[in-house]
A and B are shown apart, each in its own frame.
Chain A
């Protein structure tokens, strides 16, 4: 009996760790390979698409001799402050709405209406109200994520199994303890996941805010670079935003693993 060779494309069979890593590497090597070749062969205008080596050299230069670090820090702090404010409202409100239908009935019509308003449409009015300081940027990020975050957390809270709530009730728990000691811990892993998704969205709004209405931050740097046709700097900004987003995401997923060890099977 001759062993039949296993086909490379197996229907819904997980691939090995090694193959996963190699594949991930391969797609990026391919991407940069094409880019390098395209630049070196003069196929593309270097003014519009600088070579990747140059983008990395510029990134390095930006950070170490042109104080780009402070722009990056400003951007990060905007994201974190706005996101912390949004979470401070959304987590308690979402959990309460998911736990008490009377609270949901009051807030839900308001919250779901706001979700259909794209946050950037508020930029002109935010600028009029808050001027040009930090406030309009924070307000945009806040408005951009809060309503989605509330809705996600409320939905997750509603999905906490009824039996858990009823078990707590028959053990003699009063309502506030059912919420604090059962519903909240039960939904917490999902809250962290929701926050992880919404943090990515906060980044999106940050870039919009900084491109449209800011003189500081990563987005503003990119708009300045555009005026002087410094494409390499623009691309640096994109790379930095991407890397930061990735780092935040990895941090959150590490936090999830660390905080909820009980979700892992032994």
Chain B
């Protein structure tokens, strides 16, 4: 893993105007960097501003202060360089799996032959080869989320943003999807920013964990899971057994507790 920076979040803040003219500071001066080809996990208690930060990176919200820089350019709105996978299903129901995956490329004028080839590759990568001609309504929740991942990756973003992408899935499917993401990261060298409030998910996926405190959201601690010794672990069961896993989990639990208490 090189230490080249893919994404820089420079002291961003976000204020929301509430009804009645009151203001809510959701994020205040949050800053961190994401290295190229790494997986960065944003972790923190509910309401701490994780989604807001991710949406600002995606360009779907404008920061009230600070700036976000990707590949030397300042983020000024959504663009294909930052693909996003949402927690809710976002499959385009009127298109087959293949057409869903081709969608971004078609919008961006990728020639048909290349489109087909890339779609094929990413559909297979997420294990949906047999369902290329199926409609999303015929798929399970986990499969639909794979369609969304393949669709975003096929569009060749510089950064893949995911907001609790597996939150709606059952535990077993969630593990499978987490292992799939490790596999995808290894095979495609994609930089990822993943939001979660699931400790296990964070530890398993992260090359770096950015822990946020709540109200307002600030970076409380940046944690590199040292026990992985710089390598990713493809197998969830093995990860749990490694020395240092439970220490990290305990540490994160304590952080969560502290933040939880701080809210009351």
Contact = CB atoms under 8 A, between A and B. Distances in A.
Interface of A: 161, 163-164, 166-173, 177, 181-182, 185-186, 188, 260-266
Contact of B155 (A171, A260, A262, A264): A171
Closest 8 CB pairs of A and B: A172-B80, A171-B104, A262-B135, A169-B78, A170-B84, A266-B138, A167-B90, A185-B94
B245 interface: no
A161 B135 CA distance: 18
A161 B78 CA distance: 17
A182 B90 CA distance: 11
B94 A186 contact: yes
A185 B92 CA distance: 9
Contacts of A263: 93, 137
Interface of B: 58-60, 78-80, 82-84, 86, 88-90, 92-94, 103-104, 107-108, 134-138, 148, 151-152, 155, 161
B222 to A, nearest CB: 25
Contacts of A161: 88, 90
A170 B88 CA distance: 15
Contacts of A262: 93-94, 135-137
A5 to B, nearest CB: 39
A243 to B, nearest CB: 33
B90 A164 contact: yes
A182 B155 CA distance: 16
Nearest to A266: B138
A167 to B, nearest CB: 4
28 contacts: A163-B88, A163-B89, A166-B86, A167-B84, A167-B86, A169-B59, A169-B78, A170-B60, A170-B84, A170-B152, A171-B80, A171-B103, A171-B107, A171-B151, A171-B155, A172-B80, A172-B104, A172-B108, A185-B92, A186-B94, A260-B94, A262-B94, A262-B135, A262-B137, A263-B93, A264-B137, A266-B134, A266-B138
Contacts of A172: 78-80, 104, 107-108, 155
Contacts of A170: 58-60, 78-80, 82-84, 152, 161
Nearest to B104: A171
Nearest to A261: B135
Given A169-B60, A186-B92, 15 more contacts: A166-B58, A167-B84, A167-B90, A168-B107, A169-B78, A170-B83, A170-B152, A171-B103, A171-B152, A172-B78, A172-B155, A261-B135, A262-B94, A266-B134, A266-B137
A161 B86 CA distance: 12
A177 B136 CA distance: 21
Nearest to A164: B90
Nearest to A169: B78
B1 to A, nearest CB: 25
Contacts of B107: 168, 171-173, 177, 181
Residue of A161, A166, A181, A266 with most chain B CB atoms under a 10 A cut-off: A166
A254 B137 CA distance: 20
Contacts of B84: 166-167, 170
B33 to A, nearest CB: 21
A167 B107 CA distance: 12
A107 B145 CA distance: 38
A265 B107 CA distance: 28
A171 B156 CA distance: 9
B122 to A, nearest CB: 13
Nearest to A174: B107
Residue of B82, B103, B107 with most chain A CB atoms under a 10 A cut-off: B107
Nearest to B82: A170
